[in-house]
Amino acid sequence: MVTNKETLTSKNEDLLVIVKGLVETFKFEKWLYNISTMISFVLLLICACFLLFNNTCKNYAEAAGMFGSTGVITFTGSRMLKMWDDAMKFVNQHYSK
């Protein structure tokens, strides 16, 4: 006789396998976004330190470096969250109670 607990455990294991598969599918994209986020963050820190130690912004290129890197950080962060959201929507659609 199969109990309700055993059925839930089997479903949880199936969900875990599916989520691992989805995460593995987007592995390259995830690393690409993480690397571009780290590079942008370092660029942001360099621009901020440069402006801080010079006490003034002498040209627009210095400020543009800060705005560009914050935009990349925002974009890559949103794409990472969208990938996770898509994976959770897939699981909810196919394995809802």
Q: Has residue 80 been placed in a domain? A: yes
What pLDDT does residue 1 have?
44
> Which residues lie closer than 8 Å to 93 by C-beta, 6 or more apart?
none
Q: Has residue 4 been placed in a domain? A: no
What pLDDT does residue 62 have?
65
pLDDT cut 70: percent of the chain above it: 75
| Placement of tokens 């690409």 in the chain | 32
The mean pLDDT value for 43-67 works out to 73
Query: Rounded mean pLDDT of the chain?
Result: 76
Q: Has residue 77 been placed in a domain? A: yes
Q: Has residue 17 been placed in a domain? A: no
Cα-Cα-Cα-Cα torsion 23, 29, 33, 34, nearest 10 degrees, comes to 50
The number of domains in the chain is: 1
Q: Contact, 67 vs 43, CB < 8 A?
A: no
What pLDDT does residue 57 have?
67
The mean pLDDT value for 56-74 works out to 72
Q: Has residue 41 been placed in a domain? A: yes
The radius of gyration of the chain from alpha carbons, rounded to an integer in Å, stands at 22
Residue-number span of the structural domain to which 55 is assigned: 27-87
Q: Has residue 93 been placed in a domain? A: no
Q: Has residue 61 been placed in a domain? A: yes
Q: Has residue 16 been placed in a domain? A: no
